[in-house]
Amino acid sequence: MIDALWDPERLAAAQPPEPPAPADLTETRLLADLRRGEVSAFEELYRRQVRALYGFALRLSCRPAEAEELTQEVFVRAWEARGTFASLAHFKNWLRRVTVNEWINRIRRHRPLALDADDGTADEAAALASSSAPPGLRLDLERALAQLSPRLRAVLLLFDLYGLDHAEIGELLGMTVGASKVQLHRARRRLRELYGSS
Amino acid sequence: MKHDDAPRPEHDAALDDWLAGDLAPGSDAERALFATMPEDDAALHDELTAHREIRSQVRALPLELAPERDLWPQIAARIEVGDAESPPPSGGFWDRTISLPRWAALAALLAVAVGVGLLVGYERTAPEVAPLAVSSPAPLPPATGVDGRTGPALAAYAETDRALATIREELLRSIEARQAKLPPETRAVVFENLRTIDSAIDEIEAALAAAPADEQLARTYIAYRERQIAVLRQANELAARL
């Protein structure tokens, strides 16, 4: 599936990147400093990215403590891989990709049967909702999301909230495009059941 | 056709695709069905409404959330320990000054290191797999200026660099996905070389900022970008074979 990325026509048709916005220029400089091993640049990049990455980790895991651990782990790995980041977009995609991989690996290590089982973390979902959103409908939605199995939740969030397509989701989660579509359908159906009953 | 509560997997899957704007070409019948049915079918109308409502609520969830405590001190402590155990390559071979003979020496070193590192991996693998097809942009045209500071090469430099950046981005994404397949020693060689190349590129970029009309620097910069892509391409091909 990933070989679809290597379609020469697609590459040839790719448009030149847009000139970076001023904010991006600052971050591009920070990234160059990071590649040279400057910790201060890494800390600044961390400060700029931590809310997005922690939010991503928390959405996936629905467990604040686990999301903190994931965030820490991924930034430590980012430091170790600092020489490989070619662009800011690459850096951000890398953070997200490694977060997903690490999250799945942790589930497989510690809760091997949990990946496809309903999560049943309503209490923590309530904590999540109360800390991150106004009360009411969103709390119910967050509670319902937290009760989805990790795999269904990941597919649904990656597609609906983070805007990835099925090929990207399949690559991240190790499934085919067709399987990703099926999982998305199941996730939506299950979410409606849970949301309707909450 | 009336909607009921019985499962209709063929329509459910298509319905998801339709809602996502991703209904396959040639599905005109289903497209028309979904577009017109809600008017005649109250149950389907309700289902679609609920579906869209949940989707819009999911999309409205905040993407950024702040951790309850500052995670940086622990990250800083861990990277400090990590660096003490295996300090990153810096100083020594590369200092603050730019010298072309060092680039030449580094290029030779890289050729040997990458070659040895990847060949170790290749020997373990079956070679009968089609290589990844990634088109490279045209090389820079030859310099025409007598003093080496004029000619079409500098004009082509930015365009070539943009094209290389696109390819590099694709290759980097792929090698991230595939790197787990590489033997650890090969992976170490690949990423060590990429780090070294990046350091060299940073140095050349700094030199180019000071001397933007220097055609030799521009050529060297492009050469290193091409070398970086060659390393990524080799690593991807190897990972694809494993």
Q: Give the pLDDT score at B32.
A: 73
Q: Does B234 or A134 have the greater pLDDT score? A: B234
Residues 182-241 of B with CB under 8 A from A: 191, 194-196, 198-199, 202, 205, 240
Closest-CA residue to B199 (of A83, A39, A42): A83
pLDDT of A24-48, one tens digit each? Answer: 668 888 998 999 999 999 999 999 9
Mean pLDDT by 10 residues, chain B (242 residues): 45 65 67 68 75 85 91 92 58 34 45 46 38 46 43 63 77 78 74 74 73 72 76 77 70
For the segment A95-111, the average pLDDT, to the nearest whole number, is: 88
Cβ contacts of residue A90 below 8 Å, gap of 6+?
B169, B172, B173
pLDDT at B56: 86
Using the Cβ of B52 and the Cβ atoms of chain A, whether some distance falls under 8 Å is answered with: no
Residue showing tokens 């662009």: A87
- Give residue B100's pLDDT: 41
Q: Could you read off the pLDDT of A135-145 as tens digits, one per residue?
A: 444 668 888 89
ipTM, 2 decimals? 0.77
Top residue of B63, B65, B167, B175 to mutate, by most chain A CBs within 10 Å, is B65
B19 neighbors B52 (Cβ within 8 angstroms): yes
**Side chain identity at A170, as an amino acid letter?**
G
Mean predicted confidence (pLDDT) in A111-136? 53
Q: How many residues does chain A have?
A: 198
Alpha-carbon gap: B147 to the closest alpha carbon of chain A (Å): 31
Q: Would the pLDDT of A95 be above 90?
A: yes
Mean of pLDDT over chain A = 79
Please check the confidence at residue A83 and state whether its pLDDT lies above 60: yes
